Chain A
Amino acid sequence: MFQALVNPDRFMAFSRWAAPLFGVIALVLAAAGLVLDFQAPPDYQQGYTVHIMFIHVPAAFMSEFVYVCLGVASFLSLVFRHALATAAARAAAPLGAGFTLLALVTGSLWGRPTWGTWWVWDPRLTSVLVLFLFYLGYMALEAAIEDETKAARAAAILALVGLINLPIVHYSVVWWNSLHQGSSLLRAGGPAMPAVYLAPLLLMVFAYMAGFGALWLVRIRGEVWRRRAAVLAMRAAT
């Protein structure tokens, strides 16, 4: 299995069946999650808007999870200079940015009916906003440098700097929020989430993870082909 991650040809063979499989798993989990989602009763505090939680929390979780994946891929890319690692880092960024955007938009829509404003400086939403800026900076840096190898390395360094900073950002935002006794998005159902909410939530989180797995593999495949095409074009030109 490890070979599939290290050897590009083995990776292509592995991802050829793995990507669609993850895709199918994602769809099945999402279907199950959505079924349970709309069978769940309205929350005693938030009413029907609790249904947004089932698409907001997975998106917020994935925005962080993908950044960690990006960081690990970047680290491997820097240390081992492995082309697959570089491809994986590059492929993950737009997906992470997409999840982060979803977390922000759904978070805003979730907060509006409960708090009366379109944005709340809730520690989690604020952290997600900063994370969104991390993603944008990463993608901007990579796009701004012409030489592809240099661009990948620079972006990898930035990803690692961002990864180290991420827990500190979390801590500082939580600390600041506790000072101001700011609003915090209420957990549906009070302190302990009842099973009727927990089940669809977990299903959706796993659905999002499987979906990310599928899309990440597809994008890495695209990257591998892109590099091969570039190499072939260079050989043809000489």
Chain B
Amino acid sequence: MSGFSLILRRELALSWAGGGGPFLALGFYVAMASLLPLALGADPARMAGIAPGFAWLVLALASLLSLERMFERDFEDGALDLIALGPAPLEMTALAKGLAQWIAIAAPLALLAPVIVAALGAPTRLTPIVVTCGLIGGLSFCFLGGVGAALSLGSRRGGVLIALIVLPLFTPPVIFGAGAIEAFVAGLDWRTPLLLLCAYSLGATALCPFAMAAAARNAIS
């Protein structure tokens, strides 16, 4: 598996470098969270009720931010052609790109999430479920996002197009993650939605690389 770890290390380096790594997404997360009390009126009880769901939603949105760059750099400087022709299957590189995005962007977002939730007034006992959903759901967001990024290579509209393609696909993981968090808050069964989220994320991780590779091949053909 040393070949894969080499590819993964390259992708991680690309994700961390340029554009400030995760700080763009993290900054967006904090900015959105600051806007909520301004939009809602600072009534703490009302905000605390919305806080977990809102934090979850904005986490999903924040993962869209660095998607454009996932394939773009390699596409533009010709590296993608070389990778496609190289010994490793393009699907493996796609898997590495998705995982790198998860490690570099989604994981920091997931770790910041409980801070956001607490800052908006929800109890800190939610931390474990929020971090767990952020990490597991983050896999879905990164891989679905990767499919969107690969599909819009060479298109004119870039970021907005990716969002339009990808956001409706986010529906199941958003629902399952929100369900797990809300169930945890209410003291109901949170394991079922969490398992559903796990199942979806594992499915996305396994299948999306094929779509990503097909889309990338199409773009460089």
Contact B175 A144 (CB under 8 A): no
B197 CB to closest chain A CB, in angstroms?
A: 10
* B151 on the A face (CB < 8 A): yes
CA distance in complex: A164, B203 (Å): 11
Within 8 A of A (CB), among B176-205: 176, 178-179, 183, 193, 196, 200
CA distance in complex: A173, B183 (Å): 16
CA distance in complex: A114, B176 (Å): 29
Contact A150 B219 (CB under 8 A): yes
CA distance in complex: A171, B200 (Å): 12
Q: How large, as a class, is the contact surface on chain A?
A: 20 to 34
* B128 on the A face (CB < 8 A): no
Contact B175 A133 (CB under 8 A): no
Chain B 158-178 against A: per-residue CB contact (8 Å), 1 yes, 0 no? 000100110111011001101
**Known contacts A140-B165, A172-B172; is-contact A154 B151 (Cβ 8 Å):** yes
> Which residues on B sit within 8 Å (CB–CB) of A137?
164-165, 168
* B155 on the A face (CB < 8 A): yes
Contact B152 A144 (CB under 8 A): yes
* B33 on the A face (CB < 8 A): no
* A232 on the B face (CB < 8 A): no
* A175 on the B face (CB < 8 A): yes
Give 13 A-B contacts (CB < 8 Å), ordered by A residue.
Answer: A78-B214, A130-B171, A141-B152, A144-B161, A154-B219, A157-B151, A157-B215, A157-B218, A160-B211, A168-B172, A171-B172, A175-B175, A175-B193
